[in-house]
Structure formats: structure tokens, C-alpha cells
Homo-oligomer: A and B are copies of this chain.
Amino acid sequence: MAAQVSPTPSLSGMASVTLQSIADEIGVSRTTVSNAYNRPDQLTPELRQRVLEAADRLGYSGPNLAARTLRTGRRNAVGLLFTEDLSYVFHDPDTLAFLSGVAETTAGVGTGLMLMPVPPGLHPSESPIPFAAVDGYIVYSVPSDHPVLDLLARARGPVVVVDEPDDTDVAGFVGIDDRSGAVMAAQHLVELGHRQIGIITGRLGVDPQPGPASRARRDSATVKVALNRLEGSMQPLIAAGIDQESVPVWEAERNDPDAGRTAASEMLVANPQITALLCFTDRIAIGACQAARRLGLTVPDDLSVVGFDDIPRATTWDPPLTTISQPLIDKGRIAAQMLLDVIDGAAPKRTVLPISLTVRSSTAVPRSAADSAN
């Protein structure tokens, strides 16, 4: 029973200004006015000037975006798709740094950025994501078995993947070498003299299974990033003669300090011999530090802790975290630029960003080694 509305969204009865009205005003064709905006070389500078002045006089604010989109097929917006909860996204420093890189790049060229959160519980086909509203997608760290990827495959428009899933049939990929990052982190601990090392990973699948990660669990994991970091970490341990099977691996329920604290507590209680913790994210590492403190352990004297990502808080945390640094803002910038390029016809591309070990104060030689040195 809604009141019938005029199709023209004219305010206060005033007819809206179009290309045609400007053309009429100065006696040229609609095409010429269009060209004044889109192909300046097609008309004389004088005429173009007259067109633009008339447009200004009539209060024309440029070609109607919907009409242009309808005609050209270009929507001038990109979608950022992620499967984490919104409340997580807006608290996670990794995601935020990434997001700010993306937003900076898209805003810089006047392209819209549409956030496309896929709520965890709901099946994606039921969520009102306007897939058709964008020219392409950035997929941020989505496990390879997530149902939304099927939907995305049917949607038109190129897809740039960040971190996961590392498929080959997408228009672009941006990530880091997780494996070698983990190698660096583990190598660092080994070199310090640690032999009793525990590992805490983030979720291994769409549905987390917090607690000790059995071999079966690891084998069926779908979160590639975690798997790669796991494989990488083992490498230096094995090289140092440590039995792979004896290394405790815990899965945290979420990537946040609370879940990290829980996992670390359990692990440290069950394995009191541990002298170092290798955490696959800084937020988990922060939780691990909290757990250590509650158990009366000092970091790094009683327990070394290594993180991953180098979020801003890694620097300000007490003690400052030793971690693997990755350029999170650049990751966003590069992913966005890559997508924009591909939309403009560039060839698919793959970029692996450089990472490095940043040693701060959360790691030290194990107490036993330090004691015997004294």
C-alpha cells in the first residue's frame, strides 16, 4: 500500500539535469556532451569549455553512474570478501592493516569498496550479498573448503586471492611464503638452544577444534596458511634432531589473545618441560604471554615466545615480541592494485611478499643453557 512514487527521483519537482538538457542548452548533440567528459580529444577545446560551463550552470554533477554502468558494464566498485565475523574483522590488527591498504588504493582512484562479510553460521547463498554490484573481488584468507567459494565461481568478475585459497585459476594471488617464515621462527629458537618447543596454531579448518591437534586433524586441515607454517616449523626442529612426534601442537579456537591464552595454558600444564612457544599469530602469542604470567613464568627467562605477523601491538607489548614481520598494509595495497589492473585487462599475476625475522625481547636462551653458561 506504499504510495506510488514517480520513477524520477526528482527533488522538489525540478527536472533532473542530463546530458540531453545540457546539449539542448547550447545547441549540440548529446554525444558531444558525452565526449566532453569522456573523450576530450574528440572536440575543440572551446566547445568543450562551453559544454562544461553549461553543465556547471545547470548544476550537473557528471554523467549518471547507473546509466554509465548499464551501458559500459563497468561498476567501478570492488568487493572485499571475508568469512570472519564482522566483530572479529574490526578487531583483528592484521585484517585492519590489510583493509586500510585496500581502502587507500581504491579510494585513490575513486573506486568503491564494498565490504562483503559472509556470516559464519549462515549458508552464503542465504546472505544478501550483492554479488552483482562489483567488477571484481578480493578474497581475504578464506579456507579452501568454504561454501562461499562456489558462489564466487559463478559470479562474474575476476578474483584476487589473499593468503588463501592458493588456487591457480584465479586472476591474482597475494601472499607470503608462510613456510619459510615458520622456518625462520623455528630456526631462531633452535639456535638459541631450545629443544623443548611447543607450537600453537590458529584454526585448522572452517570449524575450529580447540586443543591438541592430532595427526588426523592436521591431515584433514583446510587452512593452508596454518598447514604451511606447521610444515615450516618442523623443518629446523627435525634438523636439530628433535622427534617430530614429540612436539606438542595445539589448535587455538580463534585468532585472539583469549583463545591463545587458553591453548597455551593447557599446553604448558600438560607439558611443563617446554621452554619455548612458537605461535602462528601475534595475537595468540600475546595470549600465550598472559598464560605464562598466570602460571608464574617470566617471558623470556622461563619461556620464550615467538609470534607471527608483526602487528602494531607486537612492538608495544611487554616484552616486545620476537616475530615474523610481514608488510600487512602493502598486502592490501598490492591486492587492490592487482585487482584494478586485472579489471583493466592486465594479465593474471602472483605476488609473494617478503618477510623477515624481527628479534625483540620475548625470546632468549633457555634458562638451563643460561645457567650452565654462568
Listed in ascending order, the chain A residues whose CB lies under 8 Å from chain B are 7-9, 11, 59, 61-62, 64-67, 69-77, 86-87, 89-91, 96-97, 99-100, 103-104, 107-117, 127-133, 154-156, 312, 329
Query: With A7-B72, A107-B117 given, is the CB distance from A131 to B61 under 8 Å?
Result: yes
Which partner residue on chain B sits nearest A112 by CB separation? B114
A110: chain B residues at CB < 8 Å are 128-130
| In contact, A130 and B65 (Cβ under 8 angstroms) | yes
- Alpha-carbon distance between A210 and B9 when the two chains are bound, in angstroms: 46
Which partner residue on chain B sits nearest A95 by CB separation? B90
| In contact, A86 and B103 (Cβ under 8 angstroms) | yes
User: Told that A107-B116, A113-B114 touch, could you supply 12 new A-B pairs with CB distance under 8 A?
Assistant: A7-B72, A9-B73, A11-B156, A64-B132, A65-B75, A66-B70, A86-B100, A90-B103, A103-B115, A107-B127, A111-B130, A112-B112
CB-defined A-B contacts under 8 Å, sample of 12: A61-B154, A61-B155, A66-B75, A69-B69, A77-B112, A87-B100, A87-B104, A103-B117, A107-B116, A107-B117, A108-B128, A112-B133
| In contact, B8 and A73 (Cβ under 8 angstroms) | yes
Which partner residue on chain B sits nearest A61 by CB separation? B132
Q: Please give the distance in Å from A299's CB to the nearest CB on chain B.
A: 16
A132: chain B residues at CB < 8 Å are 61-62, 64-65
Q: Which of A62, A90, A111: most chain B Cβ within 10 A?
A: A90
- Alpha-carbon distance between A276 and B119 when the two chains are bound, in angstroms: 44
- Alpha-carbon distance between A77 and B145 when the two chains are bound, in angstroms: 30
